[in-house]
Structure 1
Amino acid sequence: MSVDGGAQRLKTEADEPGWEVDPDDDWGVAVVATVGRQLRLRREAVGMRAAELGAATGYGEDLIYKIESGKRIPRPEFLDKADEVLGAGGLISAMKEDVAKVRYPKKVRELAKLEGRAVEIGVYECISINGLLQTPEHARALFEARQPAYSRDEVEGLVAARMARLSVFGRSPAPSLSFVQEEATLRRRVGGTMVWRQQLERLLEVGRMNNVTLQVMPTQSEAHPGLSGRIELLKFEDGAAVGRSDGAFNGRPTYEPKQLRILELRYGTIRAQALPPGESLALIEQLLGET
């Protein structure tokens, strides 16, 4: 199979960081192995070599073999192209949803699942910008600062996982989202000036959404119930709820009504002490203007 006179450079592993299979994720390993086996069986059934499939999809032969052997997570767009090239009639493309979930660590998948069901989400953050509010560049800078350091592949996988959670903003009907950020988290120039500016612009964009309330807790405020750490509350359509706080119940998620009332009381007090939404956005605009 010719490929534009051989001028096209095919993707290799180095071009696809962050798409390795976590060997400790049994479900993920099983999904990727199943997809790879079906891809190989279909390719062999139509009499196509791995190199030919690679050329048709823009992937190197070695990368095709790794996908087929269950050692690499295929991108959704690759599955679509492979389905078309192999004439699979949608059977390969149909596996995209499960494959997309596999890329994200188990803890992230569980969190994203809860956020995807929640009708209300409330978060107080005192250390860093909340993950749902971060830009990819900001998230990457945070992960790259970690010690001991993550590998390049790990960083890219973690960034992709965090960005996948942002689908909560595109849900319909939209959930009610509220965030309280400590002022100090907005002043830390994570990733440098340009990344910081982009992050402030993203906060303004999100803060102006109809279903979002964004507040800032000024550094000069008096003591409040959030000084012991992060608080997160999620409520669901059936009346159930889950909450977590760094400063309560050993930091573990809780579903107990009594414990949830304590977290709700603390979060409500924090929101009452924080700047109102309009003043909060004005402060973020002021910080942006200072760059």
Structure 2
Amino acid sequence: MRSGTEGREDVGAVRETRNSLAVKTKEESDLPGAWSAYGRLLQYLRMQAGLSQQELGEAIGYSMEQVASVEQGRRPAKAAFTTAADRVLDARGVLEVLQDEVDRAKLPRFFRNFALIEAEVLSRFSYDPLLVPGLLQTEAYARAVFAGHCPPLSEEIVDQHTEARLSRQKLLTRVPMAELSFIISEEALRNPVGDAEVMRGQWQRLLEVGALRNVEVQVMPAAPGFHAGLNGPFVMLETKEHQHLGYIESQEVGCVVRDPAEVSAFGLRYGKLRSQALNGVESARLIERLAGET
């Protein structure tokens, strides 16, 4: 017969196992469905090709552990991984079609629905008083923003959020082109996110993007008195169905605004801001001066 002590130890072990499984289930349930769907498809294509995870990894320049993580939906595939796997498995672009969904799922959860709408808009107008808008950020600037998150993010999450932010920037050069307007406060441009090298790269990026014929970058000069943007940042969108929407965000809470009266008010404010901001040429000159000061 087993002693009472042994019985209690067995019960404790069972409870510990159940708790471990519960945690694992919770972690798995938090994984984006797009990653799991991509992983299952990758596994199917690999097995159809008669390759082991080790063999596929060697063929595309990744470890067996990385291939396994992607197949299990625990790690998102990067674009380079997808391009190589699509070629080796002769998938004819099937994996590449899913890459946008995989990238979008790297975004913070509160932002994903808006990003899905944003990707297909006819026009997008925004006012940003605190930071350079994500669509215009360099990799170094975006990484510095996420690295300063409170509470701190793991390096893996910083990488994922940065990759997703850069992936959104396809909107700048998408065909058919979207009409894009960005009004950025001078204070946001002067705010040293990262070191001097990061800021120089960011200012140069703004000049390059501002030269695109579907993009307008305007700077709201410092201390112009009260203006409609002092109530906070906002975005206006027109969808491909010609629906007009707004978007506001603060402290990792985002809200898509659909009420026509509220969206109309956004339009009035944006018109005011455009008239008060420097025009495109003047804005470029100010950014060039900032770059020359460092």
Cα distance in 2 for partners of 1:129, 1:122 equals 14
**CA offset at residue 181 of structure 1?**
0.6
Cα distance in 1 for partners of 2:254, 2:66 equals 41
Cα distance in 2 for partners of 1:82, 1:280 equals 44
1:260-271 to structure 2, matched below 5 A, reads 260-271=263-274
Which residue, out of 41, 47, 52, partners 2:47?
41
Which residue, out of 234, 239, 257, partners 2:237?
234
Which of 158-167 and 111-120 deviates more? 111-120
Cα deviation code 1:182-224 (max 9, x no counterpart): 1001111211001100100011111122122211111120101
Cα distance in 1 for partners of 2:31, 2:74 equals 13
Corresponding residue for residue 76 of structure 2:
73
| TM-score normalised by length of structure 1 | 0.81
Cα distance in 1 for partners of 2:127, 2:200 equals 22
Q: Aligned pair count?
A: 263
Corresponding residue for residue 5 of structure 1:
none
SS at 1:234 equivalent: strand
Q: Residue 272 in 1 paired to residue 275 in 2?
A: yes
**CA offset at residue 253 of structure 1?**
1.5
Corresponding residue for residue 18 of structure 2:
none
Cα distance in 2 for partners of 1:227, 1:265 equals 14
C-alpha spacing 1:102/1:225, structure 2 compared with 1 (3 Å): same
**CA offset at residue 63 of structure 1?**
2.5
**CA offset at residue 66 of structure 1?**
2.8
Contact 1:40 1:68 in 2 (8 A): no
Contact 2:186 2:221 in 1 (8 A): yes
Q: Residue 197 in 1 paired to residue 200 in 2?
A: yes
Corresponding residue for residue 96 of structure 2:
96
**CA offset at residue 262 of structure 1?**
0.7
**CA offset at residue 251 of structure 1?**
6.2
C-alpha spacing 1:256/1:50, structure 2 compared with 1 (3 Å): closer
Identity rate of aligned residues, in percent? 33
Corresponding residue for residue 147 of structure 1:
150
Which residue, out of 24, 34, 50, partners 1:28?
34
| TM-score normalised by length of structure 2 | 0.80
Code of the residue aligned with 1:30 in structure 2: it is S
Larger Rg: 2
RMSD: 2.4
For structure 2, the residue ranges without an aligned partner over 5 or more in a row are: 1-26
Code of the residue aligned with 1:90 in structure 2: it is A
For structure 1, the residue ranges without an aligned partner over 5 or more in a row are: 1-20
1:1-291 to structure 2, matched below 5 A, reads 23-42=29-48, 46=50, 48-85=51-88, 88-90=89-91, 93-103=93-103, 104-105=106-107, 106-245=109-248, 252-291=255-294
Cα distance in 1 for partners of 2:110, 2:249 equals 17
Which of 211-220 and 124-133 deviates more? 211-220
**CA offset at residue 99 of structure 1?**
4.0
Cα deviation code 1:135-164 (max 9, x no counterpart): 110000011011211100000100011001
Cα distance in 2 for partners of 1:101, 1:254 equals 23
Contact 2:131 2:188 in 1 (8 A): yes
